[in-house]
Amino acid sequence: MKEIGGYIELDRAHGKEYHQGAAALNSGRHCLEYLIKAKDIKKIYIPYFLCASVKDQCEKLDCEYEYYHIDKSMRPLFDMALSGGEYLYIVNYYGQTSDKQIEEYKQKYGNIIIDNAQAFFQMAVDGVDTIYTCRKFFGVPDGGYLYTDTELNEKIEQDTSFTQINYILGRFEKDASSFYGEYQNHEHEFARRKMRGMSKLTQNLLRGIDYDFAKKARTRNFEYCHKMLGKINELDLVVPDGAFMYPLLIRDGKDLKKKLIENKIYVPTLWGEVFDVSGKGSVEWNLAENIVPLPVDQRYDIGEIEYVCNIILE
């Protein structure tokens, strides 16, 4: 029987998730697992400039994979014809790939998978398998969305995440450094989780988000960063709706990262796994080493973005 009475739990949010028409799973990597199983994918071509989770999922599922290069604009350098069971995995880096480009890729290659982990607010193009992750944009412990026209004939249990949220709650009331170790432990544990449906807790949190506010704030902050830093940025960027981060590519960006962290401006080196698979001096090596991903998310207003930009310019 359903419990009635007792102490009050977390209130239920009555808003709507942003990706209501998608399959809701517990992570982006498990969205890929869903696709591999549902479409019986035999081989995936993946970019060198990518986190290891995609490679790991392929190995876990005995799906063959092969790397390909990207150009300085972070677009695929791929000229092979795909056969049945083969797919091209395309990453929408920092939301810089337009719907028109995705449609062109679909027409050119046929079987493609779009990774929108860095483009949460960009809706999927019709007929294109598209993956999203929630943790890069919002304070949730897990969650991923998948748009596909193929249903997996397999029962998927719903995940739980109440034991995985303490580091998020802790940072809300204290600071990031106090819970960084716990965050790292969560990341290690997260990689070992099985494919499940998105947890009730995560879905509830996602239904309570003001998406319009988050999207506008991220767009505004990215635009301001580009106004301040565009002249020194080696990347030719467009301003995406609801940006992920602002990718500042400069010579010796790795040294700037250290300086910013010393000033408690925490910037990551995204996809450091590139250093293990792509040669030094390659486009991918340079991007991983010298892109400084600046936070532009909904936590910050123009004053804080200006502060970060001024430190960089100084």
C-alpha 251, offset from chain centre = 25
Question: What pLDDT is recorded for position 191?
Answer: 77
pLDDT at 222: 98
> How confident is the model at residue 293, as a pLDDT?
97
Lookup: tokens for 69:
């290069």
8-state DSSP, 87: E
Strand runs labelled E in 234-306: 245-249, 291-295
What are the structure tokens assigned to 275, written together?
Answer: 């250093």
**Cα distances (Å, whole numbers) of residue 140 to 26, 200, 296:** 11, 12, 18
State the SS3 of 88-119.
EEEECHHHCCCHHHHHHHHHHHCCEEEECCCC
Per-residue pLDDT of the chain (314 residues; tens, 9 = 90+): 888 999 888 899 999 999 999 999 999 999 999 999 999 999 999 999 999 999 999 999 999 999 999 999 999 999 999 998 999 999 999 999 999 999 999 999 999 999 999 999 999 999 999 999 999 999 999 999 999 999 999 999 999 999 889 989 998 999 888 988 988 888 788 778 899 999 999 999 999 999 999 999 999 999 999 999 999 999 999 999 999 999 999 999 999 999 999 999 999 888 888 888 887 889 999 999 999 999 999 999 999 999 999 999 99
Which of 3.90.1150.10, 3.10.129.10, 3.40.1160.10, 3.30.950.10 is the CATH number of 211-313?
Answer: 3.90.1150.10
Which pLDDT belongs to residue 215?
Answer: 98
Of 254, 255, 221, whose CA–CA distance to 239 is shortest? Answer: 221
Smallest Cα–Cα separation from 299: which of 245, 238, 237, 223? 245
H/E stretch holding 65: strand 64-70
Q: Which pLDDT belongs to residue 116?
A: 98
Retrieve residue 185's tokens: 């432990």
> Considering the domain 23-207 in this protein, what is its CATH number?
3.40.640
With a CB cutoff of 8 Å and minimum separation 6, the contacts of 296 are 218, 221, 222, 225, 243, 245, 246, 305
The DSSP result for 36-57, as a single string, is: HHHTT--EEEEESSS-HHHHHH
Write down the domain spans for the chain.
23-207, 211-313
In angstroms, the CA 201 to CA 21 distance is 19
| pLDDT given at position 175 | 87
Q: Beta strand 64-70 with 43-47: parallel, antiparallel or unpaired?
A: parallel
- What φ, ψ does residue 61 adopt, rounded to 5°? -105, 10
Rounded distance between C-alpha atoms, residue 133 and residue 151, angstroms: 19
Confidence (pLDDT) at 282? 92
Residue keyed to tokens 């109440």? 162
Please give the pLDDT value at position 276: 86
- 243: amino acid identity, one letter: A
